[in-house]
Protein backbone atom coordinates (compact mmCIF):
# COMPACT_ATOMS: atom_id res chain seq x y z
CA UNK A 1 0.00 0.00 0.00
CA UNK A 2 1.22 3.48 -0.86
CA UNK A 3 1.50 5.69 2.21
CA UNK A 4 0.26 9.26 1.72
CA UNK A 5 2.48 11.85 3.38
CA UNK A 6 -0.02 13.94 5.32
CA UNK A 7 1.34 17.48 5.15
CA UNK A 8 -1.87 18.93 6.52
CA UNK A 9 -1.60 16.89 9.72
CA UNK A 10 2.11 17.65 10.20
CA UNK A 11 1.53 21.36 9.56
CA UNK A 12 -1.06 21.35 12.35
CA UNK A 13 1.52 19.86 14.70
CA UNK A 14 4.11 22.46 13.66
CA UNK A 15 1.69 25.32 14.25
CA UNK A 16 0.76 23.92 17.67
CA UNK A 17 4.42 23.97 18.75
CA UNK A 18 4.87 27.46 17.33
CA UNK A 19 2.07 28.75 19.56
CA UNK A 20 4.18 27.82 22.59
CA UNK A 21 7.24 29.57 21.15
CA UNK A 22 5.36 32.77 20.29
CA UNK A 23 3.82 32.77 23.77
CA UNK A 24 7.32 32.59 25.27
CA UNK A 25 8.45 35.48 23.07
CA UNK A 26 5.45 37.60 24.00
CA UNK A 27 6.19 36.96 27.67
CA UNK A 28 9.55 38.66 27.04
CA UNK A 29 7.86 41.59 25.31
CA UNK A 30 8.72 40.40 21.78
CA UNK A 31 5.82 40.21 19.35
CA UNK A 32 6.78 38.19 16.24
CA UNK A 33 5.82 40.38 13.30
CA UNK A 34 5.59 39.44 9.60
CA UNK A 35 5.02 42.01 6.86
CA UNK A 36 3.35 40.62 3.74
CA UNK A 37 3.31 42.95 0.73
CA UNK A 38 1.12 42.28 -2.29
CA UNK A 39 1.14 44.51 -5.37
CA UNK A 40 -1.85 44.38 -7.73
CA UNK A 41 -4.93 42.19 -7.85
CA UNK A 42 -3.75 38.68 -8.75
CA UNK A 43 -6.54 36.40 -7.47
CA UNK A 44 -4.26 33.46 -6.71
CA UNK A 45 -1.89 35.73 -4.79
CA UNK A 46 -4.80 37.07 -2.77
CA UNK A 47 -5.69 33.52 -1.70
CA UNK A 48 -2.08 32.77 -0.72
CA UNK A 49 -1.80 35.99 1.29
CA UNK A 50 -5.08 35.30 3.07
CA UNK A 51 -3.92 31.78 3.99
CA UNK A 52 -0.60 33.11 5.28
CA UNK A 53 -2.29 35.76 7.39
CA UNK A 54 -4.70 33.20 8.85
CA UNK A 55 -1.83 30.87 9.77
CA UNK A 56 0.15 33.74 11.31
CA UNK A 57 -2.76 34.82 13.48
CA UNK A 58 -3.31 31.24 14.63
CA UNK A 59 0.25 30.80 15.91
CA UNK A 60 0.58 34.22 17.52
CA UNK A 61 2.42 36.13 14.81
CA UNK A 62 1.24 39.64 14.06
CA UNK A 63 0.75 39.82 10.28
CA UNK A 64 0.95 43.25 8.65
CA UNK A 65 -0.90 42.82 5.37
CA UNK A 66 -0.16 45.56 2.81
CA UNK A 67 -2.07 45.55 -0.48
CA UNK A 68 -0.58 48.08 -2.90
CA UNK A 69 -2.16 49.24 -6.18
CA UNK A 70 -1.01 47.67 -9.45
CA UNK A 71 0.40 51.07 -10.46
CA UNK A 72 2.93 51.06 -7.61
CA UNK A 73 6.41 51.92 -8.91
CA UNK A 74 9.53 49.93 -8.17
CA UNK A 75 11.04 52.85 -6.24
CA UNK A 76 7.93 53.10 -4.07
CA UNK A 77 8.08 49.40 -3.26
CA UNK A 78 11.81 49.53 -2.53
CA UNK A 79 11.31 52.50 -0.19
CA UNK A 80 8.66 50.55 1.71
CA UNK A 81 10.91 47.50 2.00
CA UNK A 82 13.75 49.68 3.29
CA UNK A 83 11.43 51.14 5.91
CA UNK A 84 10.65 47.66 7.25
CA UNK A 85 14.29 46.56 6.96
CA UNK A 86 15.12 49.34 9.44
CA UNK A 87 12.23 48.60 11.81
CA UNK A 88 13.47 46.43 14.71
CA UNK A 89 9.89 45.41 15.52
CA UNK A 90 9.53 43.66 12.14
CA UNK A 91 11.12 40.20 12.00
CA UNK A 92 10.08 38.97 8.56
CA UNK A 93 9.33 40.57 5.20
CA UNK A 94 7.63 38.79 2.33
CA UNK A 95 6.74 40.25 -1.07
CA UNK A 96 4.12 38.08 -2.77
CA UNK A 97 5.02 37.09 -6.34
CA UNK A 98 4.28 37.65 -9.17
CA UNK A 99 4.77 41.41 -9.38
CA UNK A 100 3.50 43.81 -12.06
CA UNK A 101 5.72 44.13 -15.11
CA UNK A 102 7.14 47.53 -14.10
CA UNK A 103 8.81 45.93 -11.07
CA UNK A 104 11.91 43.73 -11.31
CA UNK A 105 11.46 40.70 -9.03
CA UNK A 106 15.23 40.18 -8.71
CA UNK A 107 15.78 43.74 -7.51
CA UNK A 108 12.99 43.40 -4.97
CA UNK A 109 14.27 40.04 -3.72
CA UNK A 110 17.72 41.50 -3.16
CA UNK A 111 16.31 44.57 -1.40
CA UNK A 112 14.92 42.55 1.51
CA UNK A 113 17.41 42.19 4.36
CA UNK A 114 18.81 38.62 4.48
CA UNK A 115 18.04 38.72 8.23
CA UNK A 116 14.33 39.26 7.48
CA UNK A 117 14.07 37.17 4.31
CA UNK A 118 11.50 34.62 5.44
CA UNK A 119 11.16 33.27 1.89
CA UNK A 120 14.87 32.40 1.82
CA UNK A 121 15.33 33.82 -1.68
CA UNK A 122 17.99 36.48 -1.03
CA UNK A 123 21.33 35.68 -2.78
CA UNK A 124 23.13 35.76 0.58
CA UNK A 125 20.78 33.14 2.01
CA UNK A 126 20.94 31.06 -1.17
CA UNK A 127 24.74 31.18 -1.04
CA UNK A 128 24.78 30.07 2.59
CA UNK A 129 22.46 27.20 1.72
CA UNK A 130 24.75 25.97 -1.04
CA UNK A 131 27.76 26.29 1.26
CA UNK A 132 26.02 24.05 3.78
CA UNK A 133 25.57 26.78 6.41
CA UNK A 134 21.96 27.89 5.88
CA UNK A 135 20.46 30.77 7.85
CA UNK A 136 17.12 30.95 6.03
CA UNK A 137 15.63 28.33 3.73
CA UNK A 138 13.09 28.48 0.91
CA UNK A 139 9.93 27.25 2.60
CA UNK A 140 8.77 24.61 0.13
CA UNK A 141 12.03 22.62 0.09
CA UNK A 142 12.30 22.98 3.86
CA UNK A 143 8.75 21.70 4.26
CA UNK A 144 9.54 18.71 2.08
CA UNK A 145 12.54 17.79 4.22
CA UNK A 146 10.43 18.08 7.38
CA UNK A 147 7.76 15.87 5.84
CA UNK A 148 10.26 13.17 4.85
CA UNK A 149 11.80 13.26 8.33
CA UNK A 150 8.41 12.94 10.01
CA UNK A 151 7.86 9.65 8.19
CA UNK A 152 11.42 8.43 8.89
CA UNK A 153 12.30 8.45 5.19
CA UNK A 154 16.09 8.35 5.02
CA UNK A 155 17.73 10.71 2.54
CA UNK A 156 21.42 9.98 3.11
CA UNK A 157 22.88 7.74 0.43
CA UNK A 158 19.72 7.78 -1.69
CA UNK A 159 19.45 8.65 -5.37
CA UNK A 160 17.29 11.77 -5.55
CA UNK A 161 16.00 13.07 -8.87
CA UNK A 162 14.43 16.52 -9.02
CA UNK A 163 12.22 17.49 -11.93
CA UNK A 164 12.42 21.26 -12.29
CA UNK A 165 15.21 23.79 -11.76
CA UNK A 166 13.39 26.86 -10.41
CA UNK A 167 15.01 29.10 -7.82
CA UNK A 168 11.99 28.54 -5.57
CA UNK A 169 11.98 24.72 -5.48
CA UNK A 170 14.31 22.79 -7.77
CA UNK A 171 17.69 24.38 -7.10
CA UNK A 172 17.36 24.87 -3.31
CA UNK A 173 15.83 21.39 -3.04
CA UNK A 174 18.97 19.98 -4.65
CA UNK A 175 21.20 21.86 -2.22
CA UNK A 176 19.22 20.66 0.80
CA UNK A 177 19.38 17.07 -0.41
CA UNK A 178 23.15 17.30 -0.97
CA UNK A 179 23.53 18.81 2.52
CA UNK A 180 21.74 15.69 3.82
CA UNK A 181 24.14 13.37 1.96
CA UNK A 182 21.92 12.38 -0.97
CA UNK A 183 23.17 11.89 -4.53
CA UNK A 184 21.23 14.39 -6.62
CA UNK A 185 20.26 14.75 -10.28
CA UNK A 186 18.33 17.77 -11.55
CA UNK A 187 16.27 17.33 -14.70
CA UNK A 188 14.45 19.99 -16.70
CA UNK A 189 12.79 20.78 -20.04
CA UNK A 190 16.00 20.16 -22.01
CA UNK A 191 16.80 16.82 -20.37
CA UNK A 192 17.03 13.90 -22.79
CA UNK A 193 15.75 10.41 -21.94
CA UNK A 194 13.86 11.90 -19.00
CA UNK A 195 11.96 8.80 -17.90
CA UNK A 196 15.13 6.69 -17.96
CA UNK A 197 16.69 9.11 -15.48
CA UNK A 198 13.68 9.50 -13.19
CA UNK A 199 13.26 5.72 -12.97
CA UNK A 200 16.62 5.60 -11.16
CA UNK A 201 15.29 7.72 -8.31
CA UNK A 202 14.78 6.41 -4.81
CA UNK A 203 13.17 9.78 -4.11
CA UNK A 204 11.55 11.73 -6.96
CA UNK A 205 10.64 15.39 -6.40
CA UNK A 206 8.39 16.80 -9.13
CA UNK A 207 8.01 20.57 -9.54
CA UNK A 208 7.39 21.28 -13.23
CA UNK A 209 3.95 22.90 -13.30
CA UNK A 210 2.41 20.38 -15.73
CA UNK A 211 -0.73 18.73 -14.47
CA UNK A 212 -0.52 14.92 -14.07
CA UNK A 213 2.51 14.75 -16.36
CA UNK A 214 4.35 12.09 -14.37
CA UNK A 215 2.89 8.59 -14.76
CA UNK A 216 4.14 5.27 -13.40
CA UNK A 217 6.39 5.00 -16.48
CA UNK A 218 8.59 7.67 -14.86
CA UNK A 219 8.79 6.00 -11.45
CA UNK A 220 10.46 2.81 -10.31
CA UNK A 221 8.35 0.58 -8.06
CA UNK A 222 8.75 1.48 -4.40
CA UNK A 223 10.12 4.98 -4.95
CA UNK A 224 9.15 7.93 -2.76
CA UNK A 225 7.31 10.54 -4.85
CA UNK A 226 7.02 14.17 -3.75
CA UNK A 227 4.52 16.11 -5.84
CA UNK A 228 4.98 19.89 -5.57
CA UNK A 229 2.59 20.75 -8.42
CA UNK A 230 -0.67 22.66 -8.08
CA UNK A 231 -2.65 22.72 -11.31
CA UNK A 232 -6.30 22.68 -12.38
CA UNK A 233 -7.39 20.05 -14.89
CA UNK A 234 -10.08 20.44 -17.57
CA UNK A 235 -12.80 19.81 -14.97
CA UNK A 236 -11.39 22.49 -12.69
CA UNK A 237 -10.12 19.98 -10.13
CA UNK A 238 -6.88 20.70 -8.30
CA UNK A 239 -4.23 18.17 -9.33
CA UNK A 240 -0.50 17.79 -8.95
CA UNK A 241 2.26 17.25 -11.50
CA UNK A 242 1.98 13.51 -10.78
CA UNK A 243 -0.88 11.26 -11.87
CA UNK A 244 -2.00 10.16 -8.43
CA UNK A 245 -3.92 7.02 -9.45
CA UNK A 246 -0.82 5.70 -11.22
CA UNK A 247 1.21 5.98 -8.02
CA UNK A 248 -1.16 4.12 -5.71
CA UNK A 249 0.31 0.67 -5.01
CA UNK A 250 3.32 1.63 -7.16
CA UNK A 251 5.15 4.25 -5.11
CA UNK A 252 6.00 3.52 -1.47
CA UNK A 253 5.15 7.06 -0.37
CA UNK A 254 3.35 9.92 -2.11
CA UNK A 255 2.48 13.49 -1.18
CA UNK A 256 -1.19 14.09 -2.06
CA UNK A 257 -2.46 17.21 -3.83
CA UNK A 258 -3.99 18.95 -2.01
CA UNK A 259 -2.86 18.26 1.54
CA UNK A 260 0.78 17.35 0.99
CA UNK A 261 3.49 19.90 0.32
CA UNK A 262 1.27 23.00 0.29
CA UNK A 263 0.37 23.14 4.00
CA UNK A 264 4.01 22.52 4.93
CA UNK A 265 5.17 25.50 2.87
CA UNK A 266 3.03 27.89 4.91
CA UNK A 267 3.96 26.14 8.18
CA UNK A 268 7.67 26.63 7.41
CA UNK A 269 7.05 30.30 6.64
CA UNK A 270 5.57 30.69 10.10
CA UNK A 271 8.39 28.71 11.71
CA UNK A 272 11.05 30.79 10.01
CA UNK A 273 9.37 34.02 11.14
CA UNK A 274 9.37 32.77 14.74
CA UNK A 275 13.03 31.76 14.44
CA UNK A 276 13.93 35.26 13.21
CA UNK A 277 12.06 36.76 16.19
CA UNK A 278 13.90 34.45 18.57
CA UNK A 279 17.26 35.52 17.13
CA UNK A 280 16.33 39.16 17.69
What is the model's pLDDT at position 45? 87
Query: How far from chain centre, in Å, is Cα 198?
Result: 22
Provide the pLDDT for residue 43: 84
Angle at 72 between CA 69 and CA 78, to 5 degrees: 125
86 contacts: CB under 8 Å, gap ≥ 6: none
Confidence (pLDDT) at 48? 87
The pLDDT assigned to 15 comes to 97
Active site residues: 52, 96, 119
Q: What is the pLDDT of residue 264?
A: 97
The CA R_g of the chain, rounded to the nearest whole Å, is 19
The dihedral through the CA atoms of 103, 104, 107, 110 has a sign that is positive
Pairing of the two strands 3-4 and 253-254: parallel
- pLDDT at 200 (0 to 100): 98
Please report the pLDDT score of residue 254 as a whole number. Answer: 98
Low-confidence stretches of the chain (pLDDT < 70) are none
Cβ burial, residue 67 (10 Å; 0-12/13-18/19+) = middle
- Whether 33 and 90 have beta carbons less than 8 Å apart is answered as yes
What pLDDT is stored for residue 212 in this prediction? 97
Amino acid sequence: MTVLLDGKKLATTVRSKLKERTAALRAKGIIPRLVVIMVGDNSASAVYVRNKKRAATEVGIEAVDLHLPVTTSQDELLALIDQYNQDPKVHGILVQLPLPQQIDEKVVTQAISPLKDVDGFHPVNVGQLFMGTPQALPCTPRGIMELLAAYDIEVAGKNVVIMGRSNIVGRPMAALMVNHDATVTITHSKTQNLAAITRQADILVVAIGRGEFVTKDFVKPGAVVVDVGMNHNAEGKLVGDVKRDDMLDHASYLTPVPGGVGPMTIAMLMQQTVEFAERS
